[in-house]
Amino acid sequence: MSKHPRYSLTLLCLALLALLCGCTAPVPVEEPYKEAIVVGFSQVGAESDWRNANTLSMQQAFSASNGYRLIFDDAQQKQEKQITAIRNFIHQGVDYIVLAPTTEKGWDTVLAEAKAAGIPVIIVDRMIEAENDSLFTCWIGSDFLGEGRNAVRWMDSHLEDRPLRIVHLQGNIGSSAQIGRTAGLNEGLSTHPEWELVYRASGDFTQAKGQELVEAVLTQGIDFNVIFSENDNMTYGAIDALKNAGLTPGKDVTIISFDASRHALELVMSGEISYDVECNPLHGPRVENIIQRLESGLESPKLTYVEESAFDAATITPGLLESRGY
């Protein structure tokens, strides 16, 4: 049977009508009435500027004027809420499920349910660790280990003149963004005996927790000269904590950050952030393109990594800042 009973049914009715009328006139050439494609999108939450830009990009791509009905669910960084949302999507019989997973593990059961219901699942942004990869149709997102390695390469070539005492602010533990960026730093630590990790904790990718962690570091009197912060929002919190303590970000402490959202790039320009590794959140048109391919019966590559860059004072330009859409 056709994957799209809504089209075949319309055509069948037109053909029957033509038969009943006994008319020989050709069937009208207009496009058959197209129902909207229903997409259920389970989003991680609203923890960061990156996330909000990602949500907006998805909402714009899956608009009614583009032929979609988007059912959006914000899971507030809780995997249980995402599992419930996916079950609701299955129950509602959506055409596609798009999942931006909080963490990598724990999806096998619910994705098997989506598979049994015949609903394609597209994973976006972070990855999942599935027991077998037939549980999802495809994934599109970033090379998080590559991002971590990129930051380490910069530290290696720009901070070689002094021993590093690193404060590491991690993202939401168990998420691909945290796992990859942390693994990149760990590689750097293992090959640089002169780099010392003096503090490591998770700030869950939020500004408030980033600030709290750096305040705790300062209160404990830990000596440090680098902050390796796994996203821009935690960096903003860290900067506030440093400034409140009378320290100058970029001078007293070198800050490495991830995402490269517009405000962070302004801080690269002003020297408060020394290096920002880009992570592109504008996945809406990319996922939409995948769905269009699937609608036309084409396959989509199983894994797609988006291209990304990184910026420091030497590479940032006012033009780049202006053109930044997020």
Nearer to ligand GYE among residue 234 and residue 294 (C-beta): 234
Q: Which stretch binds ligand GYE (CB under 6 A): 43-51, 152-160, 294-302, 318-326?
A: 43-51
Q: Which of residues 111-150 bind ligand GYE (CB under 6 A)?
A: 125-126, 142
Of 71, 79, 70, 119, the closest CA to residue 100 belongs to: 79
Indicate which single residue of 68, 195, 205, 311 sits in contact with ligand GYE (rule: CB under 6 A).
Answer: 205
CA distances to 52, 104, 280 from 306, in Å: 18, 19, 8
Neighbours of 82 (CB within 10 A): 26
Beta strand pairing call for 275-278 and 310-312 = antiparallel
- Indicate the residue among 95 and 272 with the shorter CB distance to ligand GYE: 272
When asked if residue 259 is in the footprint of ligand GYE (CB under 6 A), the reply is yes
Q: Is 171 helix (H, G, I), strand (E, B) or coil?
A: coil
d(Cα 275, Cα 262) in Å, to the nearest integer? Answer: 13
Residue count, binding to ligand GYE (CB under 6 A): 13
Is residue 283 a contact point for ligand GYE (CB under 6 A)?
no
CA distances, 123 to each of 100, 119, 194, 228 (Å): 6, 13, 39, 27
Q: How many CB atoms lie within 10 A of CB 325?
A: 11
The residue among 176 and 254 lying less far from ligand GYE, judged by its C-beta, is 176
231 binds ligand GYE (CB under 6 A): yes
Buried residues in 125-164 as b, exposed as e (16+ CB within 10 A): bbbbebeeeebbbbbbbbbbbebbbbbbebbeeebeeeeb
The answer to whether the CB of 233 falls within 8 A of the CB of 264 is: no
286 binds ligand GYE (CB under 6 A): no
Q: Could you say whether residue 276 binds ligand GYE (CB under 6 A)?
A: no
Q: Residue 196: how many CB atoms within 10 A of its CB?
A: 14
Report the C-alpha gap between 10 and 6 in whole angstroms.
7
- The widest CA-to-CA distance across the chain, in whole angstroms, is 91
Which CB atom, from 274 or from 280, has the smaller least distance to ligand GYE? 280
**224/258 with CB nearer ligand GYE:** 258
Q: How many residues does the chain have?
A: 326
Find the binder of ligand GYE among 96, 224, 228, 258 (CB under 6 A). 258
Q: Site for ligand GYE (CB under 6 A): which residue of 39, 40, 41, 48?
A: 48
Instruction: Please pick, from the candidates 177, 217, 227, 260, the single residue that binds ligand GYE as defined by CB under 6 A.
Output: 177
Binding ligand GYE by CB under 6 A: which of 41, 47, 110, 211? 47
Considering the rule CB under 6 A, would residue 279 count as an interface residue with ligand GYE? yes
Q: Does 50 bind ligand GYE (CB under 6 A)?
A: yes
Quick one: which segment of 1-9, 31-39, 47-55, 108-116 binds ligand GYE (CB under 6 A)? 47-55
Is the Cβ of residue 95 or residue 170 nearer to ligand GYE in the bound state?
170
| Contact residues for ligand GYE, defined by CB under 6 A | 47-48, 50-51, 125-126, 142, 177, 205, 231, 258-259, 279
